Amino acid sequence: MKTIDFTKLARRNIRSLKPYEAKEIPCKVKLDANESPYSLPENIFMKKNIFRSLNRYPDPDAKELKKTVAKNFKVNIGNILLGNGSDELIYYLITAFEGPVLYPVPTFSMYGIISKASGEKAIGIPLDKDFDLDTDKMLAAVKKYNPKLVFLSSPNNPTGNCFSADRILKIIEASKGIVVVDEAYQPFSSEKGFLPLLGDYKNLAILRTLSKIGFAALRVGFLIGDPGMIKEVNKVRLPFNLNSASQALALEAFKRKKIVNSQIKNITSERERLLEELDNIGGISPYPSEANFILFRAKNANIVYHRLIKEGVLIRNLGKAIKDALRVTIGTPEENGFFITALRKSVGGKK
């Protein structure tokens, strides 16, 4: 048989890429991926008729779900594009509008990964010392590179803070391209978010997702913005990107908004409790958070991370992105208690 060097065969910009690593380290308590610790109390998979006609393609426009999404976010159907997770919508945005793509760093890694996979120029501008946008540097980059797309995750993953609204607005005003405010964690934030400003800025787009509020398995995300922008992105959308099960189950999820909202309340109040607990552990410095996770600095973070795994708790090691920093997702009160106990053990003792 012939030997083929597939790496050589791949597109030049793919050759040096590494796949996104979502490592599955089995642990008793899983607090690494910013998922909700809560599922719905009832099994909505069992709802009658959800999977009735598996031989047919799903509704390509997900009309029913879109109607519900529009009502929920108080926008028109023409303002919405649905994605197989917001990850897919980031892919579509970059495919439709191309680069350069600008974002602050550290932030959600997919903006950079997808830009590079698509062969587009990606520009990461460091956040300031408070993890807020460095307005001067960001505006200079907007001027210099004229990015087609700017991605601002607010609240930002992995730092947990919202960027100052006035700084975001300055970037929207200075940009000729589209500024995407990624509000994956907005439901956990005390701030209003940018949906109310959609009418004021044509180049503002917003990303939302069901993933962080209890439905990560469904893979449903929303792009909300100007109908003209939605129309362009829709041209690159795969025809059946949302499968029938996700469409049906996402609808059921929206019907249970009350339950979901009370779960979000539990998570945010646990977040405040956890923040205090972390603050009281020697060698640990947590940052305040508007999201469902907390970033904290730890002496010997790498060692602490591995000790926690031995104790049965998986969190996120930020590695090079932020030195000596770890990110923990807010779990149930029991999980958080287990984590705190394990952390106390892990920071003490010899290396």
CA distance 304 to 268: 25
Please, what is the minimum distance in Å from the beta carbon of residue 84 to ligand PLP? 8
Is 154 a binding residue for ligand PLP by CB under 6 A? The answer is no
- Whether the Cβ atoms of residue 220 and residue 209 lie closer than 8 Å to each other: yes
Is 268 a binding residue for ligand PLP by CB under 6 A? The answer is no
Which span (8-16, 61-69, 84-92, 253-261) binds ligand PLP, by CB under 6 A? 84-92
Is 87 a binding residue for ligand PLP by CB under 6 A? The answer is yes
Please, which of residues 204-223 interact with ligand PLP by CB under 6 A? 209, 211, 221
- Whether the Cβ atoms of residue 116 and residue 13 lie closer than 8 Å to each other: yes
Token pair belonging to 135 = 């307005």
Instruction: Give me the helices (H) in the chain, please.
Output: 6-9, 12-15, 63-73, 85-97, 110-117, 135-145, 165-174, 227-234, 244-255, 257-279, 301-311, 333-347
Is 329 a binding residue for ligand PLP by CB under 6 A? The answer is no
Please, which of residues 18-57 interact with ligand PLP by CB under 6 A? 34
Contacts of residue 102, Cβ cutoff 8 Å, sequence gap at least 6:
123, 125, 138, 141, 142, 145, 147, 149, 150, 151
Tell me whether residue 86 or residue 263 sits nearer to ligand PLP (CB atom): 86
Which span (80-88, 231-239, 273-281, 296-304) binds ligand PLP, by CB under 6 A? 80-88
Is 182 a binding residue for ligand PLP by CB under 6 A? The answer is yes
Instruction: Name the residue number minimizing CB distance to ligand PLP.
Output: 85
Please, what is the minimum distance in Å from the beta carbon of residue 29 to ligand PLP? 19
Is 241 a binding residue for ligand PLP by CB under 6 A? The answer is no
Is 157 a binding residue for ligand PLP by CB under 6 A? The answer is yes
Please, what is the minimum distance in Å from the beta carbon of residue 207 to ligand PLP? 6
CA distance 229 to 260: 30
Q: How many residues bind ligand PLP (CB under 6 A)?
A: 12
Please tell me what DSSP assigns to residue 30: E
Please, what is the minimum distance in Å from the beta carbon of residue 40 to ligand PLP? 18
Contacts of residue 306, Cβ cutoff 8 Å, sequence gap at least 6:
none
Q: Strand, helix or coil at 311?
A: helix
Q: Which of 196, 191, 215 is nearest to 206 (CA)?
A: 196
Is 85 a binding residue for ligand PLP by CB under 6 A? The answer is yes
Tell me whether residue 127 or residue 347 sits nearer to ligand PLP (CB atom): 127
Tell me whether residue 168 or residue 342 sits nearer to ligand PLP (CB atom): 168
Q: Are strands 178-182 and 149-153 parallel, antiparallel or unpaired?
A: parallel
Q: Which position among 91, 92, 97, 108 is part of the footprint of ligand PLP (CB under 6 A)?
A: 108
Q: Strand, helix or coil at 191?
A: coil
Which span (81-89, 127-135, 194-202, 331-339) binds ligand PLP, by CB under 6 A? 81-89
Site residues for ligand PLP per CB under 6 A = 34, 85-87, 108, 153, 157, 182, 184, 209, 211, 221
